[in-house]
C-alpha cells in the first residue's frame, strides 16, 4: 500500500511547507505532497487566475469536460504561495482530520522579523 500521511510523524513538514510552499523540499515533505497531490476522483483542484500575476482563486475542474470549472470566489489570493498553503491545509484536514489553524504568514513574518 502506498504511504498514508501520519499526522504525528509528518507534523514537522507542515512548517517546512508553510515557509516554502514552492521550491526545494525534504524527502519527507515530498512524500506528504505526493500523497496529497493525487486524487483518483473526477474533480481536480486548480488555481484560477483572476488578474495575471496578481490575483488567484481556488477552483474545481471536472474531468468531464461537458461540466464547467467552478471558481471559489469567496477568497482571493495575492500570491501563489498563499494559495498553495490554503490548499495544503485543506488536504491535511482531508487526510488526517486535523484542522490547521495557522495563517500563511504570522504578523511578525509579515513585518519581516524572525
Partner 1 sequence: MLKILGYPDKYSVAPGEAISFMVSSEDGEDYSASLVRVICGDANPEGPGLQHAPVKSSIESTYPGRKQDIDPGSYMRAAVPQLDTPTSFSLFAIVWPTLLKRDNQVLISKWDAASESGFKLFVTDNGQLTFVTADGGKSQSVALNVRMLERQWYHVHCSVDLDAGEIVLSQSPVHRYAFTDDEAAGRAALKVRPAFVGAPVHVAGCPAAGGRVDDHFDGKIDSPAVLRGVHAATTQAALSLRPIDNRLRADILAYWDFSIGIDTIDVTDIGDLGNHGSLHEMPVRGMKGWNWTGEFHRWTERPDHYGAVHFHHDDLYDAAWDVAFTLTIPDDLRSGNYAVRVANGENTPDETRDYYIPFFVRPARRSKGTQGKRDRIAFLAPTGAYMAYANHAEHITAAEAERTIGRLLQFGHTDIYMHQHPEVSGSLYDSRADGSGVCYSSRLRPVLNFTSQYHSWLGGHGSALWQYNADTHLLSWLEAKGFDFDVVTDEDLHADGVDLLDDYRVVLTGTHPEYYSTDMWNALKAWIDQGGRLMYLGANGFYWRIAFHKQLPGVIEVRRAEDGIRTWAAEPGEYYHSFTGELGGLYRRIGRAPNVMCGIGFVAQGFDMCSYYRRAPDAENPRAAFIFEGVDDEIIGDFGLIGGGAAGLELDCITTTLGSPPNTLRLATSENHTQAVMLVNEEFGVVPMNLGGDQNDKVRADLAFYETPAGGAVFSVGSISWCGSLPVNGFDNNVSRITENVLRRFADAAPFVPPESESD
Question: Does residue 61 belong to the site contacting partner 1 (CB under 8 A)?
Answer: yes
**Joined grid coordinates for residue 71:** 471558481
- Binding to partner 1 (CB under 8 A): which residues in 36-55? 37-40, 44-53, 55
Instruction: Name the one range near partner 1 by CB under 8 A: 1-9, 11-19, 58-66, 96-104.
Output: 58-66
Q: How far apart are CA 15 and CA 18, in angstroms?
A: 5
Handedness of CA 27, 108, 103, 60 (dihedral sign): negative
Residue reference for cell 483572476: 50
Site residues, partner 1 (CB under 8 A):
21-25, 27, 30, 33-34, 37-40, 44-53, 55-56, 58-59, 61, 63, 65, 68-69, 80, 83-84, 87
Amino acid at each position: 500500500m502506498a504511504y498514508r500521511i501520519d499526522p504525528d510523524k509528518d507534523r514537522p513538514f507542515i512548517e517546512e511547507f508553510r515557509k516554502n510552499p514552492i521550491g526545494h523540499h525534504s524527502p519527507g515533505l515530498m512524500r506528504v505532497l505526493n500523497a496529497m497531490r493525487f486524487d483518483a476522483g473526477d474533480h481536480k483542484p486548480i488555481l484560477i487566475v483572476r488578474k495575471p500575476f496578481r490575483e488567484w482563486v481556488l477552483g474545481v475542474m471536472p474531468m468531464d469536460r461537458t461540466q464547467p470549472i467552478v471558481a471559489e470566489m469567496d477568497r482571493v489570493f495575492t500570491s501563489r504561495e498563499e494559495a498553495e498553503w490554503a490548499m495544503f491545509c485543506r488536504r491535511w484536514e482531508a487526510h488526517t482530520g486535523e484542522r490547521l489553524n495557522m495563517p500563511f504568514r504570522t504578523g511578525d513574518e509579515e513585518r519581516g522579523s524572525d
